[in-house]
Amino acid sequence: MMAEASEDYFNIAQTLTAAAQDDPNRLAVVDRRSPDAKGRTVITYAQLAEDSSRLAGGLLGCGLEPGDRVVVMVPMGLDFFVTAFALFKARLVPVMVDPGMGLKRFLLCLSEGKPQGVIGVPLVHLACFLWPKYFATVKKRIVLCRLPGFLNRLPALFGLKKFSKLLTDYPALPEQKTKSDEAAAILFTSGATGPAKGAVYTHAMFRAQVESIAKNFGFKFGGVDMATFPLFALFAPALGLTSVIPNMNPIKPGQADPKKLLQSLSAEKCDSLFGSPALLSRLADYGQERELKLKGVRLIVTAGAPVQPTLAARVGDLLEPGGHLVTPYGATEGMPLTTVDHEEIVGARGMTEQGFGMCVGRALPGIRMAILPIGDQPMSKFKEEQILPVGEIGEIAASGPVVCQNYFERPKETALTIVTGPDGEIWRRMGDLGWQDAQGRFWFCGRKSQRVVTEQGSYFTVCCESIFNNHPKVRRSALVGVGQSGRQKPVMVVEPSQRLKKNDWRDLVEELKKLGQANPRTRSIETFLRHYSFPMDIRHNAKIGREKLAVWATKRLAEGDRGAY
């Protein structure tokens, strides 16, 4: 159920208010990581609406003002949902940063966000005191902790407000009247392929996302969804779902315990699940070994990286008849743009394995997409005749209500990615390479910044890697370039599926060379390096850190490649 609003005024918190009025006693969040006597803690829609209104009143009552930016470092749990919707209701702007990105990049993001407030665990407040220059704009610090006895006085001694006191000492505040085009949040990208940047979300953009997900993904109002990624979990209350938080570390989905995930799915009768490809791979391994089915789960949504056809098939085997795995294409700056289900991914497997890229589906209603010429310079506008024809690889561009139009405090990056279309509408260059087929489907070929540009031409990561990933002894591979762009040497870094002796590795290289020479896309790739632990992104554990591997490969080749790493 979507809350009604005028075109000019809308606050995303209205979706929570509407759901609470529709069914106040339905569970909004079930947290299985903080067990009480029943093995879980819960909050109803009525409680979530009430607590978030009380916290909203407390946040404004303690000195924050509408429009202020507030860094949120609250762990996944009931307080995370309360905090997010309280900020929306108070017209405060949450700044979301990945805590696992490393201290230096984390501090730079906080400094760039110029926050007026910080809500978080004691550790983030310790950082405020140790590195004050990064928090120079902060005027209010709210600590999330429940200290025993005399220690309860400590927050006040250090100038901190207590989260729990804000919930009880101030009157409840309903959501404020908010213009649809006002900033609702600043969501920092993971920084997996470059510096982390703050994408500015408006309330209208959030509304468009909720509407698109509700219409195109198959979620049903009143359903039960297992949440394994905090930012996507926030859509659950807006969609009228019960969000189940399993016992796992959301920062490390690739290490989630599949047994605990299955226990949560079964105990809470979940009918949907959001998980990164890394998490789904663990779930598929566990399920296949035991010939299990995900009973009652009719929808799995995955994002963060392209889904390999082999994984799509394995996850599909876990679903009961009528169940679907759906993966949207998009990014922090615009999501969802397309969707494709596991059956179509598996059906396109032959083309993927021949190096045509990954099928990511067709543009969703309300989204316009085009393939533009590849370029690394700003493009102020483009004309209709500049759009590349069917079958030609270029940069994916998109326009629509779910697409972010600027980065916070990064005018250069905004100018590099935002372009005016033929009709005067705003488009975003996604930084991804791909092509469109005659059926209207889009194919992902890799990140623009990760393409390898040689004197003979350009090589695209996903296209080349898919060919070598066909080998049964290859767990995954990564194409990197060594040298200056335009004269780079293409190098294929291979992570074998098992430890190999020197002679076995030599034999594998010869087999990979034959695979490569049989395809025009990889015929000139002659250098192979083995690496047994690829660097992966911290958000989804699914994107390969090719930039780090390129540095590593450059060093290895300079040293004469002494063997496995």
Q: Which residues of the chain have pLDDT under 70?
A: 1-7, 34-38, 100, 146-159, 192-193, 538-541, 561-565
Confidence (pLDDT) at 401: 96
Confidence (pLDDT) at 458: 95
Cα separation, 463 vs 434, whole angstroms: 10
**Domain CATH number, residue 377:** 2.30.38.10
Terminal Cα-to-Cα distance of the chain (whole angstroms): 53
Cα separation, 486 vs 216, whole angstroms: 42
Give the CA-trace dihedral at 175, 181, 187, 191, to 10 degrees.
180
Are 445 and 456 found together in one domain?
no
Confidence (pLDDT) at 123: 83
Contacts of 44 (CB under 8 A, 6+ apart): 24, 25, 26, 27, 28
Confidence (pLDDT) at 150: 47
Confidence (pLDDT) at 37: 47
Are 440 and 462 found together in one domain?
no
Confidence (pLDDT) at 127: 87
Range 512-519, long-range pairs (CB < 8 A, 24+ positions): 512/468, 512/471, 512/474, 515/467, 515/468, 515/470, 515/471, 516/467, 516/468, 516/492, 519/354, 519/355, 519/467
Task: Name the H helices within 274-426.
Answer: 277-290, 309-318, 342-347, 349-353, 411-417
Q: Tens of pLDDT along 228-281?
A: 888 888 899 999 999 999 988 888 888 889 999 999 999 999 999 999 998 999
Q: Is residue 83 assigned to a domain?
A: yes
Contact 82, 31 (CB under 8 A): no
Confidence (pLDDT) at 108: 85
Residue ending a domain, choose from 331, 354, 377: 354
Whole-structure pTM value: 0.91
Contact 155, 122 (CB under 8 A): no
Are 431 and 462 found together in one domain?
no
Cα separation, 94 vs 13, whole angstroms: 13
Confidence (pLDDT) at 562: 53
Q: Is residue 255 assigned to a domain?
A: yes
Are 146 and 93 found together in one domain?
yes
Q: Is residue 4 assigned to a domain?
A: no
Cα separation, 518 vs 262, whole angstroms: 43
Give the CA-trace dihedral at 326, 437, 373, 187, to 10 degrees.
-10
Tally of structural domains, the chain: 4
Looking up tokens 């404004």, which residue turns up? 60
Question: Across the chain, how many H-helices and E-strands are there?
Answer: 19, 26
Domain that holds residue 386: 366-449
Are 77 and 133 found together in one domain?
yes
**Do the strands 198-202 and 224-227 form a parallel or antiparallel pair, or are they unpaired?**
unpaired
In SS3 terms, 166-229 reads as HHHCCCCCCCCCCECCCEEEEEECCCCCCCCCEEEEEHHHHHHHHHHHHHHCCCCCCCEEEECC
Confidence (pLDDT) at 3: 53
